[in-house]
Structure 1
Amino acid sequence: MIKTHPWIGGTEEEYETQHFGFGAQSLKIAVRQMVEHKIKSGVKDMESYLQETLDLNDTDKLTLTHSCDKLIRLYCDRAGPSLEAIDSEIEKLLQIPPNVLLPEDEVQLEQVSDEEYQKLKEEVALLRKRVERGASLEALLSADDEELSSIKNVCEIARKDMEILDLLQKSCLKNDVKMIKNATEFICSTVPFLKKSDLIFGD
């Protein structure tokens, strides 16, 4: 019954809530609800007392109820100006001056100038370039590692082939045909483009 503005929140309400535990809007709504509850409960208690103490018939009881309801509406309407004055006092009490900061907002005291901001941007750009160079260097080193691994594999294969060739040479000097055949087949197995049909020896 009492006119109450809806809660809309906002920055000031949020800041007041962080500082006091409640905001001005919330408190004004709570005060109106409390006043309306007090008016209703007081008038209804009076109505109950009159119905119990007076010898009323049903018509009188109905008239009493209607009269009490009208009295409640009248009290609520007349409470409007007083509640407006209370609203103003609440706003004055809970209004946080612009120079007051919450502990978690004290970091905002350190304002950053344009020069400092530009310097920070340059530092960020420099760090970004360092990260990019680091990534490029890592990719290059990875490629070098792969290339070195390939070279090592080739060298290992060449070393084994040289050993087999040495063995072939010794076998030729000894005219050991079976050993020459086995060595040749081993070489072909390590070289993918040679086939068994290319051997000079048949089964």
Structure 2
Amino acid sequence: MSDSSSATIADSTLKDSQSSSQMYQSSLAMTEKVLGEQEYETQFFGFTPKSFTDGVYNAVNEYLTDCLEVVEKYIIQEFSAVIPAETVRECTQQLLPVFVKTFDKAFDKLENYLLCNIFHIPNNVLLPEDKPQEFQYTELEQEEIDRDLETLRQKIRNAKYVNACLEQELKDIATVQEQYDKMLTLLERLEKTTMSAGVPDLKESLVFTCDKVRALNTRIQELKPLSPPRFKLHHDDTSMSKMNKRLRKS
């Protein structure tokens, strides 16, 4: 088939399909009005149902055009002696709009059926990922949920504050424990030193010494009115008593 014949068929197809496209567009408008934006269907299928039907429509139109071109070429080659080529092209140009018009009517029905029955999800159907939306809350229920959430957030903040205080308390306890361990180690070393020096019992020796110092301090206090003191002891009777009690307890 020559290039001029193909161009003539294409022009004829464009002109003759304009009238049928009006009917097709009106049908699509009605379908879109019924189905809406089809966002839910797009979410499920992964493509818009309209794009699917448009693709099928365009593919069939191309097949019709290609089919008529092949038929025209075959008739010209086989029956050129009987039928002139111009007559064949003229008949082909007249036949194509008939095919397109018939196809448009049939495809409109197919498209409406597909969009309304095959590629349509009813309003009462939820996809598995949207199951949480099955139960809708009222405005009052939503406000109550917001208040509960705020209460939980406040409890979390309070718990964090308490945890911070407890962590600080643990750090303080660890510091005191470390000092206590150092003091205990020092006392153990002192006890070992006194034992190696021949002192039988460090605790009893300290208690005995504290008692002697306390008695001596009491005696000095009794002698104060008789004569002016030549020296002054810096030992507190209360402190000595406390030390004595601690040593006895230990």
| Alignment TM-score, normalising by the size of structure 1 | 0.56
Q: Which runs of 5+ in 1 are unaligned?
A: 175-203
Identify if the C-alpha distance between structure 1 residues 27 and 158 changes in structure 2 by more than 3 Å, giving closer, same or farther.
closer
Determine the structure 2 residue equivalent to 1:101: 125
CA contact (8 A) 1:16 1:96 kept: yes
- AA aligned to 1:100 is N
CA contact (8 A) 1:47 1:65 kept: yes
SS at match of 2:38: helix
Identify if the C-alpha distance between structure 1 residues 69 and 119 changes in structure 2 by more than 3 Å, giving closer, same or farther.
same
Q: How does 1:39-78 map onto structure 2 within 5 Å?
A: 39-55=64-80, 74=97
Task: Kindly provide the CA deviation profile for residues 60-107 of structure 1, in whole angstroms up to 9, marking residues without a partner as x.
Answer: 76x689768856875687579748955666655568587433343465
Q: Tell me how large the CA RMSD over aligned residues is.
A: 4.4
CA contact (8 A) 1:16 1:23 kept: yes
Q: Which runs of 5+ in 2 are unaligned?
A: 1-13, 26-34, 200-250
Of residues 141, 146, 150 in structure 1, which corresponds to 2:166? Answer: 141
Determine the structure 1 residue equivalent to 2:213: none
Q: How does 1:25-174 map onto structure 2 within 5 Å?
A: 25-55=50-80, 74=97, 82=105, 86=109, 99-104=123-128, 105=130, 107-166=132-191
Q: Which has the higher contact order (CA 8 A, sep 6+)?
A: 2
| Alignment TM-score, normalising by the size of structure 2 | 0.48
Identify if the C-alpha distance between structure 1 residues 68 and 108 changes in structure 2 by more than 3 Å, giving closer, same or farther.
farther
Task: Kindly provide the CA deviation profile for residues 103-159 of structure 1, in whole angstroms up to 9, marking residues without a partner as x.
Answer: 434653422112211110111111111211221222222111111111111011112
Identify if the C-alpha distance between structure 1 residues 28 and 172 changes in structure 2 by more than 3 Å, giving closer, same or farther.
closer
CA contact (8 A) 1:44 1:68 kept: no
CA contact (8 A) 1:16 1:94 kept: no
Identify if the C-alpha distance between structure 1 residues 139 and 22 changes in structure 2 by more than 3 Å, giving closer, same or farther.
closer
Determine the structure 2 residue equivalent to 1:178: none
Identify if the C-alpha distance between structure 1 residues 106 and 135 changes in structure 2 by more than 3 Å, giving closer, same or farther.
closer
- Give the greater-gyration-radius structure (CA): 2
1:43, distance to aligned residue in structure 2 (A):
0.6
**Percent identical:** 17
77-86 or 129-138: bigger deviation: 77-86
CA contact (8 A) 2:42 2:48 kept: yes
Q: How many residues align?
A: 166
